[in-house]
């Protein structure tokens, strides 16, 4: 028994160590969609949030913008779709419920399709719905006329930026 445990531990460590990243990855900022006061929109990665400027870079176009906060209407923090993550979890829960129901059916000598198979699609859809709800973009309004009202939203946006520690002069600490 001890030998099997040791072999299992060594195999688990080998698998774990082979999947470690070989190089450190750079932190990425969240993808945002900035709506300006004139109605135009800019999509890209949020690089930095300064007291009076948002720095956004669009990797597809290879272009960056320094946007004056007074001209920004709102910022949407875009999120990856979590539908399939939630649906996968729901499928696992539905499968567990179906197996539980199957063991009850076998012991009761009654076979009903609804009791056995119904949790699978229901939990799949419910998990997918919850995953989709977790993917809804977060919208933060910025009103340039009143900069003191923007401070909480700008502080919240700093958590989504690539560079979080910028002081007033724009230098990284």
- Residues 6 or more apart whose Cβ sits within 8 Å of residue 109: none
- Token readout for 148 is 């003191």
Give the confidence band of 23 by pLDDT, cuts at 50, 70, 90: low
3-state SS of the chain: helix, strand, coil percent to 5?
45, 25, 30
**CA distances to 9, 14, 63 from 57, in Å:** 45, 40, 6
Which fold is adopted by the domain 28-79+137-158?
A: SH3 type barrels. (2.30.30)
Give yes or no for residue 135 having a pLDDT over 80: yes
Give yes or no for residue 170 having a pLDDT over 60: no
Residue 69: predicted pLDDT: 82
Entry pTM:
0.61
Q: Mean pLDDT: which of 66-80, 113-127, 136-150 is highest?
A: 66-80
**CA distances to 31, 70, 76 from 146, in Å:** 25, 9, 19
Give yes or no for residue 173 having a pLDDT over 50: no
Backbone angles phi, psi at 119, to 5 degrees: -60, -25
CB neighbours (10 Å) of residue 142? 23
**Residue 140 near residue 75, CB atoms below 8 Å:** yes
Calculate what percentage of the chain has a pLDDT beyond 70: 76
Which residues does residue 66 pair with via DSSP β-bridges, in sequence order? 55
H/E segment holding residue 134: helix 119-134
The residue among 129 and 168 whose pLDDT is bigger is: 129
CATH 2.30.30.100 residue spans of the chain: 28-79+137-158
The rounded mean pLDDT for the chain is: 77
Residue 7: predicted pLDDT: 81
How large is the greatest C-alpha to C-alpha distance in the chain, in angstroms?
Answer: 76
**CA distances to 108, 143, 148 from 113, in Å:** 14, 57, 61
Calculate mean pLDDT across residues 105-128. Answer: 73
């Amino acid at each position: 028994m001890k030998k099997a445990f040791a072999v299992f531990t060594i195999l688990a460590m080998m698998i774990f160590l082979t999947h470690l990243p070989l190089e450190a990855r750079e932190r990425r900022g969240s993808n945002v969609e900035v709506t300006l006061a004139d109605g135009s929109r800019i999509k890209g990665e949020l690089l930095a949030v300064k007291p009076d400027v948002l720095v956004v870079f669009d990797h597809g176009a290879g272009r960056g913008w320094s946007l004056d906060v007074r001209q920004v209407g709102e910022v949407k923090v875009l999120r990856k779709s979590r539908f399939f993550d939630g649906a996968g979890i729901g499928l696992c829960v539905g499968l567990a419920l179906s197996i539980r129901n199957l063991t009850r059916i076998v012991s009761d000598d009654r076979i009903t399709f609804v009791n056995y198979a119904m949790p699978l699609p229901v939990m799949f859809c419910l998990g997918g719905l919850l995953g989709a709800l977790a993917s809804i973009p977060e919208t933060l309004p910025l009103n340039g006329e009143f900069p003191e009202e923007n401070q909480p939203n700008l502080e919240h946006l700093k958590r989504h930026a690539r560079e979080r520690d910028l002081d007033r002069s724009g230098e990284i600490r």
